[in-house]
Structure 1
Amino acid sequence: MSVRLFLLLAFSLEVFRCELSGRKAASVISPAKTLVWGPGLEADIVLPARFFYIQAVDSSGKNLTTSPGEKTFEVKIVSPTEQFTRIWIQVLDRRDGSFLVRYRLYATYTDLHIHVLLEASQVAKSPYVLNGAVYHEGCDCPQPSGAVWEKQMRCPESFAQITRDLSLYAGVDPDQNSQEIPKRFGQRQSLCHYTIKENKVYVKTFGEHVGFRIFMDAILLSLTRKVRLPDVEFFVNLGDWPLEKRKPTDKLHPIFSWCGSNTTRDIVMPTYDLTESVLETMGRVSLDMMSVQANTGPLWPQKNATAFWRGRDSRQERLQLVKLSRAHPDFIDAAFTNFFFFKHDESLYGPLVKHVSFFDFFKYKYQINIDGTVAAYRLPYLLAGDSVVLKQDSGYYEHFYNELRPWEHYIPIKANLGDLLEKIQWARDHDEEARKIALAGQKFARSHLMGDSIFCYYYKLFKEYARLQITEPKVREGMELVEQPTDDLFPCSCNRRTAKDEL
């Protein structure tokens, strides 16, 4: 037998084995008892990429805990009023017996029918009917009542970080801030001065490096397409470092930033990275909170029991980490993919290694999260994977850090990395406990850092901040209107009433 024929037969046998395994798995799943739920089954929850979940359940009523095969379930979305629909659907196997279904609408439809199928059998309460208009991401059709929108989105009553950040302000004066903040920060920093008036976005920029304005423009435009925001005026810091260093007893200027610190008083928002990944899910980004869930690497027992890290040289401790890796390669696999801040030390800490796909990080049980210029913005994605995070103690924080608990959602390590080797050894010696921490971190990310939560956070922040204003927000001299993008090919008709909330 030729080698080519042998390989062909082997491949055919493997395909047959996988198909047989898939059929066997499907045969034990109960279509009636399988669970289907999530925001993507409700017409009023408008997201860039809508999503819902499927939990495979067997005939005895037990949830499957391993993958029955990535092709187990089929999802079809149709509209009785349209012959063709422009909807991109992905069924993502989370390999734990559950699936995440995400879909992106490229037009607005009426009465969508979502069919969840297992070998042509309808699953759970399928088909799910989304009655009325189902608006796509680009449709400028805001819900006029913020209270109704919050209820539809199932937003939490409050966010601890917002409460903490705004507690420093008895009131804010847009008139005064519009004069004082540009004088104090406008020459040395990069700022955006925003006013939202009648649900339209206006902006003026200060400083040289204002390219990151695109992220803030994008979330504000997306949010105002979904819900009517209160009139509000605020300043956004476009740089990495938080700005307001005054003590709470001094006169504080409210500055919105993507990152906070223990020594500053900035008002924290979700990072631009996480914000963009939400807006561009199933768009131009490949790394987002959903895609990670389908790319978590081998099952826990098959993962490499080494702590992994890749990145650039943006902090002294990162140099130390690479040095530790060289001294203890059986414990740590850490290397630089780019030198920028410490170019003169490249000969000591190089050579550079090739970029590694983020999804390949999860071939390793232990992920090291270490600060860059500020907080490392990769933490949400690391938590969402299937590895345990060893997180450096840090003075910097993102909007959700306040809700994380050491030894519950991650393994803490000292800021100077002095106990890193010890913590890796602990994780190796307590494999089941480390696995539980990994799962708790994963559950947190899946519950708190998905797109619906991010939109809720932004809305709550602007609503609560607006209540603090003691003078009326204004469209100031030099501000320009940020236009909504147009879609001449698939325009939408908005059927909502135009009443507005009372603050």
Structure 2
Amino acid sequence: MSVRLLLLLVFSLEVFRCELSKEKAGSAINAAKTLVWGPGLEADIVLPARFFYIQTVDSSGERLTTSPGEKTFEVKIVSPTEQFTRIWIQVLDRRDGSFLVRYRMYATYTDLHIHVLLKGKHVAKSPYILKGPVYHEGCDCPQPSGSVWEKNMHCPESFAQITRDLSLHPSVDPDQNAQEIPKRFGQRQSLCHYTIKENKVYVKTFGEHVGFRIFMDAILLSLTRKVRIPDVEFFVNLGDWPLEKRKPTDKLHPIFSWCGSNNTRDIVMPTYDLTESVLETMGRVSLDMMSVQANTGPPWPEKNATAFWRGRDSRQERLQLVKLSRAHPDFIDAAFTNFFFFKHDESLYGPLVKHVSFFDFFKYKYQINIDGTVAAYRLPYLLAGDSVVLKQDSGYYEHFYNELRPWEHYIPIKANLGDLLEKIQWARDHDEEARKIALAGQQLARSHLMGDSIFCYYYKLFKEYARLQITEPKVRKGMELVEQPTDDLFPCSCDRRMEKDEL
């Protein structure tokens, strides 16, 4: 027998074995005992892309921990009052025995029936009936009561970062801030001055570079379509760097930013990147917290035991990282995809390489997270994958860093990367511990950084900030109304009772 024929035979047997194991796994699943849950099964939770989970369980009650095959389940969503439903559905195989089902509605329906099927048989308590009206993302129909909305959304009582940020502001004077903040920051920085009045959004911009306003406009419009926000007036920093650098003993100005630092006192929001990924899931973006969960690379034992990084030259330590990689290619695979901030010296940093699909990062066990101009905004997606994150000690932070614990959710490395090689070696020598850290980080991302959590964070932030105001928020001179987008094709009628919450 020729070598080529032998290899072909081995390959065929391997394919047959894999298909057989998938078939056995599929037949071992118990439809009645399998678990189905999540916010996408509740009519009152309106998200750009709704989602729920399926956890496979066998006949003995044990949860499966490997994929039974990505085509295992069929999900159908229909409305008995409509012949056709404009709903895009995706069943994402998380390859750990569980599935994430996401769907985006392009119209509002009276009642939805969600069928979760295994070989034509209903799973768990399928069909799940969402009693209508079930509103789609574009429907301008806010819940009048914020407390009812929070309860429906299962929002937490509080967020540690919001409590910490607002503790520096015993009271807020919108009249005074409207005078002082533009004078202090308006000439040199890019700011948006927002007022939400009667649940309508008004804005005035300061500075030259205000393009990132689109992200803030989008989340405010989306949020006000879902819930009535208390009247509130605030300033948003559109730049990368947080602005308020005064000492806690000085009079601080409240500035909302997408990133915080140990040397500043800004009020932190979810990053524009994470915010957009939530709003545009199953839309404009390809990288979001759900898509990552279905693209985590090969199983842990088959991943490359090398630390991986790609990016641009936005920080000195990134130059050091690439030099380290060139000196220790068996430990680190790091390269630049773009040079902008420093002079490109190919002899030191090698040639630029092509962009790598983010999902291909997870072919590697170890992901290096290192600051850019500020915090590296890719961290939520790295945590959501199936690799362990080696995170640089940093003075910058995002809204969720309060939840992160070193050695529990990630492996810490020094700011100067002085112990990076040592930590990679530790991970190689302690494979099971590294795997547990990767899974804990993944679980944190799954439970704290999905769309429902992001909307809860924004609402809580605006609600708690509104409580601090000692003068009435106003639509100031020069402010313009930010219009809600119109949907002439699929308009919705809102039948909520219009009663306001008391602050």
TM-score (norm: length of structure 1): 0.97
* Larger displacement relative to structure 2 (6-15 or 468-477): 6-15
Distance of aligned partners of 1:18 and 1:493 in 2 relative to their CA distance in 1, 3 Å threshold? farther
Distance of aligned partners of 1:497 and 1:123 in 2 relative to their CA distance in 1, 3 Å threshold? same
1:74 and 1:117 in contact (8 A); partners too: yes
State the alpha-carbon separation in 2 of the partners of residues 12 and 84 from structure 1.
Answer: 43
1:17 shift after superposition = 6.2
State the alpha-carbon separation in 2 of the partners of residues 327 and 407 from structure 1.
Answer: 27
Residue segments in structure 2 that go unaligned for 5+ positions in a row: none
State the alpha-carbon separation in 1 of the partners of residues 2 and 364 from structure 2.
Answer: 38
Distance of aligned partners of 1:9 and 1:490 in 2 relative to their CA distance in 1, 3 Å threshold? farther
1:355 shift after superposition = 0.3
1:349 shift after superposition = 1.4
Distance of aligned partners of 1:12 and 1:481 in 2 relative to their CA distance in 1, 3 Å threshold? farther
Distance of aligned partners of 1:346 and 1:482 in 2 relative to their CA distance in 1, 3 Å threshold? farther
State the alpha-carbon separation in 2 of the partners of residues 230 and 420 from structure 1.
Answer: 47
SS in 2 for 1:242: coil
- Equivalent in the alignment of 1:203: 203
The alignment yields a C-alpha RMSD, in angstroms, of 2.0
Q: Deviating runs (4+, > 6 A) in structure 1? A: 1-17
Residue segments in structure 1 that go unaligned for 5+ positions in a row: none
SS in 2 for 1:181: helix
State the alpha-carbon separation in 1 of the partners of residues 207 and 297 from structure 2.
Answer: 43
SS in 2 for 1:290: coil
Write the deviation string for residues 12-51 of structure 1: whole angstroms up to 9, x where unpaired: 9888766544432221000000000000000000000000
SS in 2 for 1:141: coil
1:199 and 1:228 in contact (8 A); partners too: yes
Write the deviation string for residues 321-354 of structure 1: whole angstroms up to 9, x where unpaired: 0000011000000000000001344553131001
State the alpha-carbon separation in 2 of the partners of residues 371 and 265 from structure 1.
Answer: 19
SS in 2 for 1:24: helix
Distance of aligned partners of 1:425 and 1:155 in 2 relative to their CA distance in 1, 3 Å threshold? same
1:132 shift after superposition = 1.6
State the alpha-carbon separation in 2 of the partners of residues 344 and 30 from structure 1.
Answer: 58
State the alpha-carbon separation in 2 of the partners of residues 398 and 101 from structure 1.
Answer: 28
- Equivalent in the alignment of 1:310: 310
SS in 1 for 2:323: helix
1:274 shift after superposition = 0.2
Distance of aligned partners of 1:353 and 1:184 in 2 relative to their CA distance in 1, 3 Å threshold? same
1:77 and 1:114 in contact (8 A); partners too: yes
Write the deviation string for residues 223-268 of structure 1: whole angstroms up to 9, x where unpaired: 0000000000000000000000001110100000000000000000
Alignment identity in percent?
93
* Larger displacement relative to structure 2 (179-188 or 2-11): 2-11
1:36 and 1:52 in contact (8 A); partners too: yes
- Equivalent in the alignment of 1:404: 404
* Larger displacement relative to structure 2 (404-413 or 341-350): 341-350
* Larger displacement relative to structure 2 (154-163 or 341-350): 341-350
- Equivalent in the alignment of 1:453: 453
1:280 shift after superposition = 0.2
Distance of aligned partners of 1:393 and 1:3 in 2 relative to their CA distance in 1, 3 Å threshold? closer
Distance of aligned partners of 1:425 and 1:15 in 2 relative to their CA distance in 1, 3 Å threshold? closer
Distance of aligned partners of 1:11 and 1:285 in 2 relative to their CA distance in 1, 3 Å threshold? farther
SS in 1 for 2:318: helix
Write the deviation string for residues 74-110 of structure 1: whole angstroms up to 9, x where unpaired: 1000000001000000000000000000000000011
1:22 and 1:72 in contact (8 A); partners too: no
State the alpha-carbon separation in 2 of the partners of residues 21 and 495 from structure 1.
Answer: 51
1:51 and 1:100 in contact (8 A); partners too: yes
State the alpha-carbon separation in 1 of the partners of residues 3 and 483 from structure 2.
Answer: 62
- Equivalent in the alignment of 1:37: 37
State the alpha-carbon separation in 2 of the partners of residues 7 and 203 from structure 1.
Answer: 66
State the alpha-carbon separation in 2 of the partners of residues 232 and 167 from structure 1.
Answer: 18
Q: Number of aligned residue pairs: give it.
A: 503
1:230 and 1:463 in contact (8 A); partners too: yes
1:39 and 1:51 in contact (8 A); partners too: yes
1:201 and 1:220 in contact (8 A); partners too: yes
Write the deviation string for residues 286-345 of structure 1: whole angstroms up to 9, x where unpaired: 000000000000000000000000000000000000000011000000000000001344
